[in-house]
Amino acid sequence: MSETINQYINLTWVYWALWIVYGVTIISVVLVVLSENRNPVKSLAWITVLLLLPAVGLILYFLFGRSIKNKRFISRRNRRRLKKHEQAKAFNAAASGLSVENSQQVKLGQSLMGAPYYEYNKARIFDNGKEKFDILMQDLRRARRFIYLQYYIFEDDRIGNAIADILISKAKSGVKVKVIYDHLGNFKVKRKFYRRMREAGVEVYPFFKISLLHLGARINWRNHRKLCLIDGRVGYIGGMNVADRYIDGGKFGVWRDIHLRVTGPILRSFNHSFCYDWNFMGRPIPEDFTPVDAKASDGEIGMQLVTSGPTGQWGNISLMFLKAIGNAKKSIYLQTPYFLPTEGLLRALQAAALSKIDVRVMIPRRSDSAMLRHASFSYIKDCLRAGIKVYLYEPGMLHGKVIIVDDDFVTVGSTNFDFRSFEHNFEANLFVYSKDFNERMTDIFMRDLEESTRVLPYDWEHRPRIDKMKQSVMRLFSPIL
């Protein structure tokens, strides 16, 4: 009998000891979250998860909650070496012909990351994957010196293999081919797909490779950039990954996106961005590396490439967005697959609409993520109250990431209008200062508008209660989705 009592007492002590350790761990993590002085909304989201789902919350925090802001992954020496390759001239606001507002926008990009402003560029706009990939493959086949390819997703499907075959052929002919793909974004792709390219001489590497050893330190920070540079002659940037659904629409039937083909001196910034990421992964900058000799084209477009990531201090692209919205005098047209704005960006859009600026936000009615769809829809009421016009794109998945301001500014790139893009992902956006380019992008936006349904305040207020509940719950987690 006494042995049974002793065993019971021992088990009770173990039980309570485990609970104490568990409680101390939860409290410690909550204190860490508070001590980091993050955005209060984000801190509250993490504390809510930790308190409501303690065991799951701990795992999620160690995987997705920690910060790598201001950590250095590339040496100062290599930073200086890469920066030399951009060969940028000092920005002359008076000579540029830009408005005061756009000149300030350019200066902000320079202050944040030294992003040069280049004139005399050309851009071709693709709003469908078939046309984009047809032209891209033609350019890849013309490569003579090098191909730099960077995509968040590079699928082992029809278009993925078609591009891989070209890369293999070019590598065998002596062209230097470098490929960066995101490890998490391609986690389901079989390794033999990339091994086939590697064995043929293509230098292909995953960004922030995930392993059990580095699981908590890497899984949350992904490279979402979509960038290509060929011979320093032509570049591509936008929202399209390498996958069949960007051509045939996949389960949505239609997959709308925006991508650009660019020529001109801005390609020096493309070169800098790719080589920075290449060195970030621990790959050496080739000793025989020569700067891109990107000459002025016969175009008249002013451009600035701005990148951002979780290692930076400021959140470059979100600040550039904030500045662009604040610069607006007449109109702001925003297209994004996921609308989960930070408090500052939401307030900026509301302030613009309340100032009688024509603010229009377009998001897809159907989404490739149910959680993100509900979270995005939770912000619609906030928009409608301020007079922001919200449209739901009907034909299929809307994946374009575009902001058009007034008649002379556009930004296109990989950045979604959500917390993850602003704080956790490595992103790249092209900031374009041109009335002609703005007009072309506005025409595309208006065509998409014709296939969209405007959300009316009365209808939205009377949507099903179950939808309201789902949206409210998902909004709680929007800072960490």
Model confidence pLDDT, tens digit, residues 171-182 = 999 999 999 999
Q: Locate tokens 């004139």: which residue? A: 119
Q: Which of 103-107, 224-228, 272-276, 363-367 has the lowest mean pLDDT?
A: 272-276
Give 301 or 96, the one with higher predicted confidence. Answer: 301
Q: Residue 112 — very low, low, confident or very high, per pLDDT cuts 50/70/90? A: very high
pLDDT confidence of residue 26: 58
- Residue 173 to residue 289: CA distance in whole angstroms: 19
Kindly tell me if the per-residue pLDDT of 306 is higher than 90: yes
pLDDT confidence of residue 221: 81
Task: Compute the mean pLDDT over every residue in the chain, rounded to the nearest whole number.
Answer: 86
- State mean pLDDT over 446-457: 98
Tell me the residue length of the chain: 481
Of 348, 340, 344, the C-alpha closest to 378 is: 340
Kindly tell me if the per-residue pLDDT of 52 is higher than 70: no
Q: Locate tokens 């795992």: which residue? A: 59
Quickly list H helices, 53-97.
54-64, 76-84, 93-96
Q: Residue 288 — very low, low, confident or very high, per pLDDT cuts 50/70/90? A: very low
Q: For the chain, give the percent of residues with pLDDT over 90.
A: 68
Q: Which of 42-46, 149-153, 310-314 has the lowest mean pLDDT?
A: 42-46
- Residue 136 to residue 126: CA distance in whole angstroms: 11
Kindly tell me if the per-residue pLDDT of 107 is higher than 80: yes
pLDDT confidence of residue 72: 52
Q: Are 444 and 258 in contact (CB under 8 A)?
A: yes
Q: For the chain, give the percent of residues with pLDDT over 70.
A: 75
DSSP 455: P
Q: What is the dihedral of CA 30, 32, 36, 40, to 10 degrees?
A: 0
- Residue 116 to residue 113: CA distance in whole angstroms: 9
pLDDT in tens, 170-210: 999 999 999 999 998 998 999 999 999 999 999 999 998 87
- Residue 209 to residue 216: CA distance in whole angstroms: 12
pLDDT in tens, 10-49: 556 655 665 665 566 556 555 655 555 555 656 666 666 6
Kindly tell me if the per-residue pLDDT of 349 is higher than 80: yes
Structure tokens that stand for 152 in this block: 């968040």
pLDDT confidence of residue 24: 63
Kindly tell me if the per-residue pLDDT of 229 is higher than 80: yes
Kindly tell me if the per-residue pLDDT of 3 is higher than 60: no
- State mean pLDDT over 432-446: 98
Catalytic positions, written as ranges = 224, 226, 231, 399, 401, 406
- State mean pLDDT over 238-257: 97
| Pairing state between β 255-256 and 397-398 | parallel
Kindly tell me if the per-residue pLDDT of 290 is higher than 60: no
- Residue 245 to residue 264: CA distance in whole angstroms: 30
Name beta bridge partners: 333. Answer: 360, 404
- State mean pLDDT over 241-255: 97
pLDDT confidence of residue 477: 76
Kindly tell me if the per-residue pLDDT of 316 is higher than 50: yes
The radius of gyration computed from the CA coordinates of the chain, to the nearest angstrom, equals: 24
Q: Residue 402 — very low, low, confident or very high, per pLDDT cuts 50/70/90? A: very high
Query: Which amino acid is residue 409, in one-letter code?
Result: F
Q: Residue 285 — very low, low, confident or very high, per pLDDT cuts 50/70/90? A: confident
Q: Residue 92 — very low, low, confident or very high, per pLDDT cuts 50/70/90? A: low
DSSP 30: H
pLDDT confidence of residue 31: 60
Helix (H) or strand (E) holding 146: strand 146-151
